[in-house]
Structure 1
Amino acid sequence: MIRGIRGATTVNNNEEKEMIQETKKLVEKMVELNDVAPDDIASVLISVTPDLNATFPAKALRLIDGWKFVPVMCMPEISVPGSLPQCIRVMMTVNTHLKQDKVEHIYLNEAVKLRPDLVEKD
């Protein structure tokens, strides 16, 4: 079955190192919690808010072992007044055995505000 896994995070600064670090952390958690291998991934779309342009966050995925052939694309997020700034969003399309309600969508840092209904409470 093909499913989408959502994820989002934020950074404090428009800096390449931080953007790559936070994107890598997010994607690694998405695949870990959803038991996804690189061969399971059809594609990954990454959007960034207009205030982030220091790098392509997709570069982070090239640092993950086995991801050489995973198709990845970056794009700008639409600029909605009052929306969460400095945000990196990920949509990963995967082949999985998980039912829709068992997919774990991951929201880190300030991005937990985007979907509080999906963020597990500690």
Structure 2
Amino acid sequence: MHLIVRDFPDDLVELLKARTGSAAASKAVVTACYASISQADQIERQRLRIAELETALRVSRQVVEGARSAAALLLEHTAQGDLLTRARYQPAHPGRARSRFLISKPPCFSVMHSRVRAGEAPSHHPRPKGD
């Protein structure tokens, strides 16, 4: 098929020739048309990919928010029983980072530990009568 285009701007012809690397104006126009079709297809694929990524990002943000809420709820429940206490101490190795939280001992632990050191049996673990 032959196509005749009248009044084609000279500056556009020169731009297409420079962009396509063609010496002839007609070949530059045809090459630019094919490139335009290819680029339109690529843009459509990229739009679909962006939509997929936005959906995945939205789901990821919901997961993170759910995890944040669960962590806050867990901290609230554990803090009610005073399981976590703030403590400052010198680490065994000065180069290592300090812990901001220590897990506290249950109240009965210190009583039981002191009885064992004194040679007595803890109240909930009676000693055998043969000793």
Question: What TM-score results when the alignment is normalised by the length of structure 2?
Answer: 0.22
Question: What TM-score results when the alignment is normalised by the length of structure 1?
Answer: 0.24
- Higher gyration radius (CA): 2
Bigger relative contact order, structure 1 or 2, given CA contacts below 8 A and separation 6+? 1
